[in-house]
Structure 1
Amino acid sequence: MNEMTTIARTTTLKDWETDQEVRWCPGCGDYAILKAVQRTMPEIGTAPENTVFVSGIGCSSRFPYYMETYGFHTIHGRAPAFATGLKLANPDLDIWIVTGDGDGLSIGGNHTMHLIRRNLDCQIMLFNNEIYGLTKGQYSPTSRVGTTSPSTPYGSVDRPAQPAAFALGAGARFVARGFDVSKELPNVLKAAHAHKGAAFIEIFQNCIVYNKDVFEDFAAPKGAEDRQLWLKQGEPMLYAKGTRGIALDAEALHLKTVDVVDGDWEAAGVIVHDVTNRSVAHMLVEMRFGEFPMALGVLYDDPRPTFEADVVRQNKAAAEGKKADLQGLLKKGQTWTVTESGPEL
C-alpha cells in the first residue's frame, strides 16, 4: 500500500444524487438525513468516485442506493468489517458507514466496538430510532424501559444502551450527536469528516410508523429549541436562549444546571466546552434528559494515529530492502518437482 493521499474536486448536490427512487415510509426521518448528507458532501470537497458508503441491514441500510458513490449493502452488523477491508485495500478511500441501533448495537455491536477501538479512518453514522423498523417494530437495544412492541407486549424491561456512551467506552476519539431534521446536522457531519480517525455520530431519527415522535421533547422541528444544548468548541454551555447553562459541581464531580442572569454566564459558573476533555464528554453523554437538556453537536474530538496508517507504515518497513519474488516464495520450504521417475524432494 502507498502513502495515503487526499482526492478532492468541486461538486454540486446533483453529483451526489442517484436516479434511484428513494423508498422509505412517508415521513421517515431517513429522508432528512439523506438530504443533509447529499448537501454536505459538496462542502466537504471530496469526490464521489473516491467515496464509499457501506451499510448492514435495516431501514438505514438502503442509504448506499441513494448516494452517487461506490456502495456496499452488506450483511447484518458486519458493515465495519467490510469497511475495514476496503480501507486497508485502498487507504485513500473516503468511507462512510451507515447503520442503525439494531444493526450496529445488537448483532453488530462487537464489530462496531472493534472498528472504533482500532480507530479506522471513517465516519460512522448510527441512526437511532429506538426500534427495529425493517422487521416490523420489535424493541431494540436502545428502546426505553416500558416500550410496547410485538416482542415486548407488556413493555420492555431492558435498560437501554446509550450509543454515545458505548462509543466513548470503546475508545472513540470523536463522538457527536444530531437529529434528522436539525439544521445543525451538516455542521456535525463536516466536523466528523474533518476528524482523522473513527468518527462516531449518533443521529436521532424519527420512525414514523413504529416509534413516532419518541424524540419530540427535544427534536421537534419547532418548539423544542429550549431543550437542546448545542455544543461549540470554546463556547459556554448555554441553552434556552442563553438563560440556562451547564456548570460543574466541583464537590460532587458531576454536572448541574444553573440559571444565567442578564447574560452573565461566568458569574453563574457555566463551563466552556472543550472537545478534548474526555471526562466532561462522559458526563454530557450521561446527562438525564428531563433534568438536563439533550447534549448535541461534537461532544468529544481528540485525534490519535489511525489503524490503516499504522498498517501502511508497518508494511512499508517490513518490505524495506526486499524484492518481490513469488516463485521464490512458492518454492520455499516443503516443495518438490515431479519427474518421469517420480517426485524429487
Structure 2
Amino acid sequence: MNEMTAIKTTLKDWESDQEVRWCPGCGDYAILKAVQRTLPELGADPAKTVFVSGIGCSSRFPYYVSSYGFHTIHGRAPAFATGLKLANPELDVWLVTGDGDGMSIGGNHTMHFLRRNINSQILLFNNEIYGLTKGQYSPTSREGTSSPTTPLGSVDRPMQPCAFALGAGARFIARGFDTSKNLGEVLKAAHAHQGAAFVEIFQNCIVYNKDRFADFTEKAVADTRQLWLKDGEPMLFNKGTQGLRLNTDHLHLEIVDVVDGDWQAAGVLVHDVKNRTIAHMLVELPMALFPVALGVIYDDPRPTYESALLGQDAVAREGKVANLAKLLAKGQTWTVQPEDQGPLSGV
C-alpha cells in the first residue's frame, strides 16, 4: 500500500459536482464507479490523492473524482505525474490514459515512466479506437478494423499494451475490463504495489467500436473465455475443466482438459506473479484461440525512482547549509569595476 494514513470515506465523498460527459453506455462510467468504490476501501485521503490524465475520452477522469487532478497535454501525463511524485512523494498518484494517448503520442513517456518505476497507478483504458476524435484506428486496433483513416481495414499489427509495459521494465502488470466485478480487486492490488503499477482495462466504446470485447466479456461466454489469475493457484478456466500447461518441448502455453478435477495430473501451471517469462506468454496469447488472461499477471517490486533520487538528494545535502548567494558566486564569475566600463560608462 502507498505510504499514507488511512481515513474513512464513502463513495459519495469521491463523486465530484461535475456533470459526467461520456456517451450513454460508455464503459468509462463503469470504470469510474469501480475506482470511486475502491478508494474508500483503500482508506485513501482526497486531500492527498491526485488523478493525472492526458487527452482523450478517458482523460476527462480527473473532473469526476473529488480529489486533486490535472488534465494535461496529449501523451504527457507521465511527465506531470513524475514531477508530482518528486515534489511530494506522499501523494497518491493515479495516471489515467488511453490506448491512443498512452501508446501512440505518449508511448515514449509511458515507457520511461515504467522504466523509472515511479510509485503510481497507471490505468490504461483500451477500447482499440480513437473515440474523442471520431473513430480513427489506434495502435491497439485489430487487423481489419474499418475506420475513417483505414476505410479498407487496418493492415497494422496491433500492439499489446501489457507486452509493451513488460518490455519497458514494468514490475506490475494487470488486466481487467470495464464491467467486471473483479476490477476493484485488481485496482487494490495495483495500489498495494510499491512502484509503477500498469493496469490495462478493456473498455467498450459504444459509438465507434461497439462490443469489440463481447467475445470474452459477455456472461454467456465468460467461463470459457476468461482466465482470472491468482498467485499460487492453478491456471484453470471453464469451471475448472480446462487449464493452461507449459509445453516444455516447444516452450509455449497450451490448453489441456482437466479430468475429475485433477489439474496436477493434467500438468496445469500454478500462477507465480514473479515469473516474468510466463507473464510475457500470458499477455501475448492469441485471443481467438485462448482465454484472455485477466487479474494480476506480474508483480515483482523493486525500489522506486523517487526513493532512490530523493535518497541521493538527502545524502548530497547532509552537513550542508543552504546559501543562495554563495551558490550564485560559485564558478566562473567576476565583478565589473567602474574603471573597466569604458566609454559607455554612465550611458
TM-score between both structures, scaled by the size of structure 1 = 0.96
Amino acid at match of 2:136: Q
Q: Which residue of the partner structure matches residue 87 of structure 1?
A: 85
Q: Are the equivalent residues in 2 in contact too, given 1:181–1:221 (CA < 8 A)?
A: no
> CA offset at residue 14 of structure 1?
1.1
CA distance in 2, matches of 1:217, 1:337: 75
Q: Which residue of the partner structure matches residue 261 of structure 1?
A: 259
Aligned residue pair count? 340
> CA offset at residue 330 of structure 1?
1.6
Amino acid at match of 2:130: Y
Q: Residue 182 of structure 1 is aligned with which of 180, 183, 200?
A: 180
Q: Which residue of the partner structure matches residue 146 of structure 1?
A: 144
SS in 2 for 1:265: coil
Q: Are the equivalent residues in 2 in contact too, given 1:178–1:188 (CA < 8 A)?
A: yes
Could you list the runs of 5+ residues in structure 2 that have no partner in the other structure? Answer: 342-347
CA distance in 2, matches of 1:132, 1:156: 13
CA distance in 2, matches of 1:37, 1:147: 30
> CA offset at residue 339 of structure 1?
6.6
TM-score between both structures, scaled by the size of structure 2 = 0.95
- Structural mapping, 1:235-254, within 5 Å: 235-254=233-252
Amino acid at match of 1:181: T
CA distance in 1, matches of 2:218, 2:77: 30
User: Could you list the per-position Cα deviations for residues 147-184 of structure 1 after superposition, in whole angstroms to 9, with x for gaps in the alignment?
Assistant: 00000000000000000100001111000000000000
CA distance in 2, matches of 1:42, 1:222: 32
Q: Which residue of the partner structure matches residue 345 of structure 2?
A: none
> CA offset at residue 225 of structure 1?
3.0
Q: Which residue of the partner structure matches residue 298 of structure 2?
A: 300
Give me the identity figure in percent. 73
CA distance in 1, matches of 2:286, 2:50: 36
> CA offset at residue 289 of structure 1?
1.3
SS in 1 for 2:209: coil
Q: Which residue of the partner structure matches residue 133 of structure 1?
A: 131
Q: Which residue of the partner structure matches residue 200 of structure 1?
A: 198
Amino acid at match of 2:238: A
**2:319 is the counterpart of 1:321:** yes
Q: Residue 65 of structure 1 is aligned with which of 60, 63, 66?
A: 63
**2:105 is the counterpart of 1:107:** yes
Amino acid at match of 2:190: A
In structure 2, do the counterparts of structure 1 residues 125 and 5 end up closer, same or farther at CA, with 3 Å as the change threshold? closer
CA distance in 1, matches of 2:135, 2:190: 30
In structure 2, do the counterparts of structure 1 residues 222 and 60 end up closer, same or farther at CA, with 3 Å as the change threshold? farther
Q: Which residue of the partner structure matches residue 344 of structure 2?
A: none
Q: Are the equivalent residues in 2 in contact too, given 1:121–1:197 (CA < 8 A)?
A: yes
What RMSD in Å do the two structures reach over aligned CA positions? 1.3
User: Could you list the per-position Cα deviations for residues 58-97 of structure 1 after superposition, in whole angstroms to 9, with x for gaps in the alignment?
Assistant: 0000000001111000010000000001100001110000
Q: Are the equivalent residues in 2 in contact too, given 1:48–1:68 (CA < 8 A)?
A: yes
SS in 1 for 2:147: coil
Q: Which residue of the partner structure matches residue 155 of structure 2?
A: 157
SS in 2 for 1:267: coil
> CA offset at residue 334 of structure 1?
3.7
Could you list the runs of 5+ residues in structure 1 that have no partner in the other structure? Answer: none
- Structural mapping, 1:22-61, within 5 Å: 22-61=20-59
> CA offset at residue 336 of structure 1?
4.5
SS in 2 for 1:175: strand
Q: Which residue of the partner structure matches residue 330 of structure 1?
A: 328
User: Could you list the per-position Cα deviations for residues 6-51 of structure 1 after superposition, in whole angstroms to 9, with x for gaps in the alignment?
Assistant: 2321111111110111110000000000000000001111211101
> CA offset at residue 335 of structure 1?
3.7
Q: Are the equivalent residues in 2 in contact too, given 1:116–1:172 (CA < 8 A)?
A: yes
> CA offset at residue 251 of structure 1?
1.0
Q: Are the equivalent residues in 2 in contact too, given 1:182–1:221 (CA < 8 A)?
A: no
Q: Are the equivalent residues in 2 in contact too, given 1:123–1:193 (CA < 8 A)?
A: yes
Q: Residue 7 of structure 2 is aligned with which of 9, 15, 18?
A: 9
